[in-house]
Structure formats: structure tokens, C-alpha cells
Structure 1
Amino acid sequence: MDALSELIDTQGVRGVLGALITAGDDWGWWSTETPGAAFHAVTSGTVWIAPEGGDPVQLLPGDLLLLPSGGAHALASDPHALSRTSPKRSDDPAMVADGTVRMGRSPARTHILCAHFTHDPITSAPLLAALPPVLLLRGHGDDQGLAETVRLVGRELAAPRPGSPVVLARLVDVLLIQALRAWLESEDERTASPLHAVRDPAVSTAMALIDAAPGDAWTVTSLAREAAVSRATLARRFPAVVGETPAAYLTRRRLDLAARRLRDTDDTLEAIAQHVGYTSVYAFSRAFRRERGVAPGRFRAAARAGILAS
């Protein structure tokens, strides 16, 4: 599995289908902050969007906008409607029988797919946190397949068939991967992130080895040998790309896995410690408390009660 697929899988990143908007003229809707990354794709017409405290942007057919932090924002038919839309003033949407949201005056000119992305809260370093506050990707002239996928979304919205909600949910996941690919190819890597490992074969290999077997006794030397580079090269490139040393990344992956097992299984602390590569419960508990700020037993109780330790 490649680095990007591994990151998405291990962090449990999933798309959740939200509103399907059919809009006419003269409307504005305030979207409150969401628990995950907010996402909008335009299949026809245009929409103006302004993140709270940010500059407005116009989305055209095939465009998509991702707000990785899920911040509040306004959606509107035009700049004038956008300027009047706020938390205190927002047009009321009308729910249509087929589940779509109707906005503005007829006739319908714009169709928008709204969704959001969630991740497993156990994860200590959310994947999308590396992205800029606003990620705008244009469908026109792109070579990532974004426009084609948005067109598929448009077809499902225009003529719903049995299974359309499942198809749309899968397409939302596809659009996220395409958006991340596009960002990675255009971003200049000034900010280190595990996402950038996709572009470095040696670092990507080292990360994949750790992700596949975090309980193994990996060292920079053994990782470098498997990645076919020198120890010095990997020791230099890994933190420059990922933002942390191989040892720190290994520890974080081990403790993320341990946290998930504490929440999801009844395994003993001894079994979990051994599974994630610690020689004793004491060593495991000390490392877990240092990183998570709470002992494993208390973390398990809080996680199962829905109160995750930070």
C-alpha cells in the first residue's frame, strides 16, 4: 500500500454525504462549523463561498472547495447575497421530497454537492491538518480527473437510481484523494507533513514499513537498509519530509494503534504492550502517559465513555 493510501486507511478518513443543494437566484446560506473538513463540489451553475474571516471565491462547474478545519462559511448566489449572509442572517432552506435542499428563486441554476470528511479521533496527528485553511481546486484544465468525477456526481444527482447514495458517498472519497494528489503536485513542501512522503520513495518506504509492522524493533539503520539508502540519508530526509524523526513517527504510530486497541478491544495492557513493541507494561504505560497525558487504563475508560483524552 502506498503512503497516501496508508495514511487515509490508518487514520480512518471517511467522506460523509451532506446536503445536495439545488439553487436559483438571490440566496445566501450560513454553514456553521462542522466536526470534520467541509467540502463543496459544483456540478452546474456557480456559487460564491466565503470562509469566516476569509476572502470570497466563486466556484464554477467542476470546481471543488475543501475547508480542512471545517470552519464556518457562507454560500450564496452572488457577491451581494454573500455580503448580507452571516450567522445572524441566513436564508431558510426548503427540503424537497427527494432529500435535496432548495435555495433561492426559481428556476434552478446551480447544483452543489456538500459533504464533510471525518477521521478517527484516536489519531494523534490528523491527516488533513497539513492542508491550507482553504483548498480551492479548479475543474477546468485539470489533469487529476476532478472534472470527470464531478460530472459523475452531477449525473447521479440529476437522475437518482437505486444505490445512488452509496455511489455518491464513494465518489466523495474519490474526490478527496484527487484533491490531495492535486495539492501535493502543486505544493512546494515548505511545511513538513507525512503527506509529502508520497513524493519521496525512501521516506515513503520507511513509513510503509513502520505502518505495516509498528511492533517491530525498527531503527534508522534497519529502515534505511530496507529503503536502499544510507542511514545518514534517511536520518536527514525523513524529518525534513515528515516533520519528525523515524523514532518519533514509530512511537506515535505505536501509541495510536495502542489507543485504538484500548478503545475497541478488551485486550489486557500486557497484550497491547507486546503487540505494539514494548517489552513491559511499565515501559508502555510510561510512554503512553507521556504522549497522551493519561494512563492507559483511564484512557480506555474515557474513550469508551466518548470522552477522549487530548
Structure 2
Amino acid sequence: MDALAGLLDGPRARGAFLLRMVMEPPWSVHIDDEAPLCLMCVTQGESWIAPASGEPVLLRPGDVAIARGPEPYTVSHAPGAEPQARIGPGGTCHTLQGEPLAQAMRLGVRTWGNAPDGSTSVLIGTYQMKGEVSGRLLDALPPLLHLSAEVWNHPLMTVLDEEIARDDPGQSVVLDRVLDLLLIAVLRTWFSRPDAEAPAWYRAMGDPVVGQALRLIQDGPARPWTVASLATECGVSRAALARRFNDLVGEPPMAYLTGWRLALAADLLRESDATVEAVARKVGYSGSFALSAAFKRVRGISPQEHRTGGALPERQQSSP
């Protein structure tokens, strides 16, 4: 497993909110759904995206953008256009006065807008789950990520465009997987740019020693790792691995291991009905007591409180 695979290894898209938005100017939609991430691809016409803070960005055909939640943003035909609709949590759609718009603007299967033959068409895929593993990478993204068609050209956009309006059996699963693949492709392109400000742990994946140590931890979190055993697997001394890991990743190997284990545990607690004991053993702890102690120390709440939706007073995490 590598850093990008880790993004979607836990809560991958499951019943993601997907649609094709077809619009004719003037139009403007305020997005306030609190979703952790939304991917948008323009297939026809032009669209402006204005984040809550920052300058509006123009999307042309072939361009792709990712809006990182939960901050709101506006999508419109022109900067500063007055919103005519609001998308709330769960994909609900209303006027700014609260009147429902879902049926009035429905144009077919997963197609929505103000005109069936509108001059602007945007493919939208929204991840509605909040996951701690994905949070590690999402925290490294800007509020609004934009790749123009000149630097981004991927056949998956065409696949999504063809599949999004189909209503075949199992279609939602097909779309979820296409969205996952498209997201990973976008992020891979984003982080490979010459001027990319990728997080330290992402850049470290390319190091022959530290990259191997990171993959060993991510692929086998339940193994009883020590700095010495990691160093042996990587073919270097304990001191050399500790120094190199800390320099490139920004934290010691065991701190990274703890953060990774707890991130996986957090996902398992929310996304499965496994007992705390079973989750603990799956991610490398001796039992529920050991996991609870680590969870409380790092996150400030117990595993059970996390499972039932307990909120952190201030987010704490040991992020690779």
C-alpha cells in the first residue's frame, strides 16, 4: 500500500453522491453540504468555483477540480453571481428561502439542472463520509485544487461521463469505483507537479529506505514492529533508519506507526460492527485496554466514544 492507496483504503466511496449538472446562464449554486471532498469535471461550457476564502477559479472543458470540505463554496456561470439554489448536507437542494428544488430541476437519471440542453455540463462526485485515513491526505490538500486540461487528460473522465446517467443493476457500485480511480488519478497528477507542495510523508515514499519502511508499516500494521525490526527489513542500521525516517517524515517511526494504527482503528470502529477487542488486534494492539489507552492519549476520547460519534474538543492526530 502507498500513500494514495491509503487515502481510500478505509472508507472508500460507498453510495457517493454523483450527478451531471446541466445549466444555462444565468445560474449559481451555493454548496454547503459539509462533505469532506467533492470532485468536479467540466465536460462542456465554463464554470466558476469560488471558495469561502480565496479567488474564484475558472473551469473549462477537460478541467478538473477538488473542493475540500467542510467549508462552503459557490459554483456559477460568472464570479459573484447571486446563488439561486443551495445544496445542503446529504445532497438536499433548496432555494435560498428553503423551498425544495430537487424535483423541479431533475432532468433524468443522475442529471440535474435548469435546462435539458444547457450550454454548461459538469460531472460531480461527492464523498459524504468522513474517514480518518483519508483525512491524513485531505489535510495536505488546499481548499480548492484545480488541474487544467493542459496538464490533466485522463480517459476516466470519459468513462464517468458515459456511466453517470446509466441505471443498470449495480450501477451505484460501478460509479463508486470509477470515482475512486478518478480521484486517485487526479491526486497523483497533483502531487507529481514540479511545484507541488506534497506533505513530507508523501515525498518520503520515494526514498529507497524510508519508503520501504512506510510500506511495511502500512501493509502490516498488526506486526510487532520495532525500529530495529524495521531497520533489518530495510537493510540498514537502527540508528540510520531512525535518523533518516525522522528527517524525511518529520516524526519517529514508532510515532508514525501509532498514528497509522489509530487511523485504521478509527475507520474500523465507525465502518464495522467488530468489537473493540477485535479491532485492537487487527491493527496491532494486544487488546482493547491497550487500544483504549492509546486512543485516549492521542485523540482524547475512548474508542467507544469515537464509535458513537463523540467529538474531539480539538482534533489530535499523529499524521504521516
TM class, shorter-length: 0.7 to 0.9
Please state if 1:74 is matched with 2:74.
Answer: yes
Q: How high is the sequence identity, in percent, across the aligned residues?
A: 34
Q: Residues 204 and 101 (structure 1 numbering): CA distance in 2 closer, same or farther, change over 3 Å?
A: same
Q: Residues 45 and 230 (structure 1 numbering): CA distance in 2 closer, same or farther, change over 3 Å?
A: farther
| Alpha-carbon distance, 1:121 to partner | 3.5
- When the two chains are superposed, the root-mean-square deviation of aligned CA atoms in Å is 3.3
1:108 and 1:189 map into 2 onto residues whose CA distance is 35
Please state if 1:64 is matched with 2:33.
Answer: no
Please state if 1:133 is matched with 2:132.
Answer: no
1:222 and 1:189 map into 2 onto residues whose CA distance is 33
From 232, 237, 246, the equivalent of 2:253 is 246
Give the structure 2 partner of residue 116 of structure 1: 126
- Is contact 2:200–2:250 with CA below 8 Å preserved after alignment? yes
| Alpha-carbon distance, 1:177 to partner | 0.6
Please give the residue correspondences for 1:36-51 in structure 2 after superposition, counting only pairs within 5 Å. 36-51=36-51
2:32 and 2:68 map into 1 onto residues whose CA distance is 14
Give the structure 2 partner of residue 225 of structure 1: 232
Give the structure 2 partner of residue 291 of structure 1: 298
Structure 1 stretch 38-47 or stretch 86-95: which is displaced more? 86-95
1:275 and 1:25 map into 2 onto residues whose CA distance is 53
Q: Residues 168 and 265 (structure 1 numbering): CA distance in 2 closer, same or farther, change over 3 Å?
A: closer
The size of the alignment, in residue pairs, is 297
Please give the residue correspondences for 1:1-310 in structure 2 after superposition, counting only pairs within 5 Å. 1-9=1-9, 11-14=10-13, 16-79=16-79, 82-85=80-83, 94-103=105-114, 107-119=117-129, 121=131, 123=133, 125-142=135-152, 145-146=153-154, 148-157=155-164, 160=166, 162=168, 165-186=172-193, 188=195, 192-260=199-267, 264-265=272-273, 267=275, 269=277, 276-278=283-285, 283-295=290-302, 299-300=303-304, 302-307=305-310
Q: TM-score, structure 1 length as denominator?
A: 0.79
Structure 1 stretch 176-185 or stretch 218-227: which is displaced more? 218-227
Q: Residues 242 and 133 (structure 1 numbering): CA distance in 2 closer, same or farther, change over 3 Å?
A: farther
2:229 and 2:8 map into 1 onto residues whose CA distance is 25
Q: Residues 208 and 112 (structure 1 numbering): CA distance in 2 closer, same or farther, change over 3 Å?
A: same
Name stretches of at least 5 consecutive residues in structure 2 with no aligned partner: 87-94, 316-320
- Is contact 2:2–2:218 with CA below 8 Å preserved after alignment? no
- Is contact 2:11–2:267 with CA below 8 Å preserved after alignment? no
Name stretches of at least 5 consecutive residues in structure 1 with no aligned partner: none
Q: TM-score, structure 2 length as denominator?
A: 0.77
Q: Residues 54 and 120 (structure 1 numbering): CA distance in 2 closer, same or farther, change over 3 Å?
A: closer
For residues 256-278 of structure 1, what are the alpha-carbon distances to aligned partners after superposition, in whole Å with 9 as ceiling and x for unaligned? Answer: 34445555345464x65555444
SS in 2 for 1:151: helix
Q: Residues 131 and 238 (structure 1 numbering): CA distance in 2 closer, same or farther, change over 3 Å?
A: farther
